[in-house]
Amino acid sequence: MEPTTNNNVRDALKERDGFHIWWRMIRPHTLTASFIPVFVGTMAAWVEGSINWNIFLAMLLASIFIQTATNLFNEYYDFKRGLDNEESVGIGGSIVRDGIKPNTIKNLAFFLYFISLIIGIYICIASSWWIAVIGLVCMAFGYLYTGGPIPISYTPFGELASGFLMGTVIIGISYFIQTGTLTSSVILISIPIMILIGTINMANNIRDRDGDEIGGRKTIPVLIGREKAITFMAILFIIVFGLTGLYIIVGILPLWSLLTFLAIFKARAVIKNFRGKTAAIEMMPAMKATGITNTIYGFLLGISLLLSHFI
């Protein structure tokens, strides 16, 4: 993470006090990784018939709470392991710049997990108790991403773990609790979303590459270098839209899914805003654009499925 002064960081990130501290603490730009999979999985289920809106809302809330708790655990353990300090440029900063007590962050994360468990019980009653097993696994990985003796975030598998669990698994659960079944088409449709969620994680790791290397992390950008990691991200974007085009051709996705190609413009902005940047503060627009890319693609994908159902 790029060193600078505390006041300069707050000014550059336009950080404010009050409610803004708590809003920033949940890292809102990452919440697209929880909303979009639930939306896509539910829209895919709607194509097969009607949907239960109560279950949809319950799944959405549980997913958002688990994602938020994961972000809070990340905030807590990065601070505890010395990766965050007052001179760090980060999207959290609740501890190092806002003065929130570390235990408050950790306890809030566990509280959100508890609320998710309560919501999960309702979802299981309405669908299947197997969802409880999968949900607990997701929560465990959310904690182990930065907690535990060997955090996933310290390995090259962070992008894969977050993409698979938040993308493929959540889409699969969202579809299953509505239909009572799971199809190969839904799994295939989830792959581009899985990749895009992984790129959100990679964007964070590209920005934090220098500090992560000092802190002992072995993320993909640390192992292959920042510029190669940016090129790898560009390849992942190409794969996303290549798969989408293939799915449309073979009939897995409707022709309406051509709308998702509008997200290409934002994906190009991600790569452009990363190229040639070395200061963490300079890469913040690229990180934001990565989340927006997933939002645009996923929202338009869900809408295209909905249109195919009614038109």
pLDDT digits (tens, 9 = 90+) for 146-202: 888 889 989 999 999 999 999 999 999 999 999 999 999 999 999 999 999 999 999
Q: Which residues contact 24 (CB under 8 A, 6 or more apart)?
A: 15, 91, 92, 93, 94, 98
**How far apart (Å, rounded) are the C-alpha atoms in residues 276 and 271?**
10
Q: Which domains does the chain have, with CATH numbers?
A: 6-310 (1.10.600)
Q: What is the DSSP letter of 282?
A: G
* Model-wide pTM > 0.85: yes
DSSP letter string, 187-246: HHHHHHHHHHHHHHHHHHHHHTHHHHHHHT---HHHHH-HHHHHHHHHHHHHHHHHHHHH
Q: Taking 80 as the threshold, does the pLDDT of residue 99 lie above it?
A: no
**How far apart (Å, rounded) are the C-alpha atoms in residues 192 and 207?**
23
Give residue 259's pLDDT band: very low, low, confident or very high (50, 70, 90).
very high
**How far apart (Å, rounded) are the C-alpha atoms in residues 292 and 296?**
6
CA nearest neighbour of 58 among 138, 197, 178 = 178
Give residue 309's pLDDT band: very low, low, confident or very high (50, 70, 90).
confident
Q: Taking 50 as the threshold, does the pLDDT of residue 4 lie above it?
A: no
